[in-house]
Amino acid sequence: MLKVGSLYGPVQEDLRLVEDTFDQIKSVEEFPMLSKMLGQILGGTGKQLRPAIALLAGKFGDYRTELHVPLAASIELLHTATLVHDDVIDASPSRRGRPTANELFNNSAAVMLGDYMFAHAADLIARTDNTAVVRLFAKTIMKIASGELHQDMSAYDYGQDTMAYFGRIEGKTASLFATSAEGGAMVARCSGGEREALRSYGLNIGMAFQVVDDILDFAGDEDEMGKPIGSDLMQGTLTLPSLLLMERHPKDNPVKKAFRTKKPRSEHVAEAVYMVLNSDILNEVYDVARDFRDRALQALAPLPAGAARTALEDIGEYVLKRRS
């Protein structure tokens, strides 16, 4: 597996400051219970892809540690807050092998904890002293929340097409990647062109990231992922592999069988996974992910070469190769 840390060359040190900010967030002195809850939820150091992208984007302009570090920390906190609420909604007991907030505490506490984290993220973003950046992030969360609502409403609807799928993953995943890159560029007062290039990079990397995620739901390592294969289908979520399976077998396929009753039976999900794995579907989906990655790299073309651009390119490679 690719080592992530080494990817982030020019911002590796500032990513450590992002972690320090997380340690500060966890220590809510006036309320030890909240402190303990945050410690349990913010405990696992993730891949920090989004904060790294925000910091790297800043390197193309007037990079300022004292503004970029709170921005990057706020992005990771926002992302984690959306996961906390997602897990309540999906009633997930674990994520990446660790118990979720709703499992550790209860649904009510998880909703409030997520709200607290959203508000704290807003406070961090405001430290950039740039209300345009605050509005960019606010609009992104609006997009993510309305995307989630849309996904919720369209669960078990097997009449969706690939266009709807791409719209959905743009809302739920790619938009925050795009905003991470654009936010980093805005705080660094990059030009309009640089900002647009970095936003396009983030958007396409985010699309590639989610498409790979959807491959891993069929072909990933259950232990590394911390969730069973076929989880999306069990929850009524159509992803690109299952859409292609339906396209190839329009008359009779296990996805329709699984979704018809809104209570997927595991034998139908297992059959769908088996059929996908015994076809070239995942190769085709992987080509789609590579295509998004390529578009991300193309977007970087107008930007000056150097350590920051190389790191962003390496992230593209990592996103394609990751196994969990």
Name the residue type at position 281.
Answer: I
Shorter beta-carbon distance to its own copies: residue 1 or 153: 153
Q: Are 45 and 15 in contact (CB under 8 A)?
A: no
Greatest Cα pair distance in the chain = 61
- Write a three-state SS string for 268-298: HHHHHHHHHHCCCHHHHHHHHHHHHHHHHHH
Per rule CB under 8 A, is residue 31 in the interface with its own copies? yes
d(CA 3, CA 13): 16
Residue ranges in 92-111 that form contacts with its own copies under rule CB under 8 A:
107-109, 111
Binding-site member from 150, 189, 256, 295 for its own copies (CB under 8 A) = 150
Element (H, E) at 52: helix 49-58
Nearest alpha-carbon partner for 309 in 226, 194, 155: 194
Per rule CB under 8 A, is residue 157 in the interface with its own copies? no
Total residues at interface with its own copies (CB under 8 A):
47
Only segment of 92-100, 135-143, 240-248, 306-314 that touches its own copies (CB under 8 A) = 135-143
Per rule CB under 8 A, is residue 119 in the interface with its own copies? yes
d(CA 272, CA 254): 5
> Minimum CB separation from its own copies for residue 179, in Å?
12
Residue ranges in 258-277 that form contacts with its own copies under rule CB under 8 A:
none
Shorter beta-carbon distance to its own copies: residue 2 or 33: 33
- Half-sphere exposure of residue 50: CA atoms within 13 angstroms, side-chain side: 25
> Minimum CB separation from its own copies for residue 309, in Å?
30
Binding site for its own copies (CB under 8 A): 28, 31, 33-34, 37, 82, 85, 88-89, 107-109, 111-116, 118-120, 122-123, 125-132, 134-135, 137-142, 144-146, 148-150, 152-153
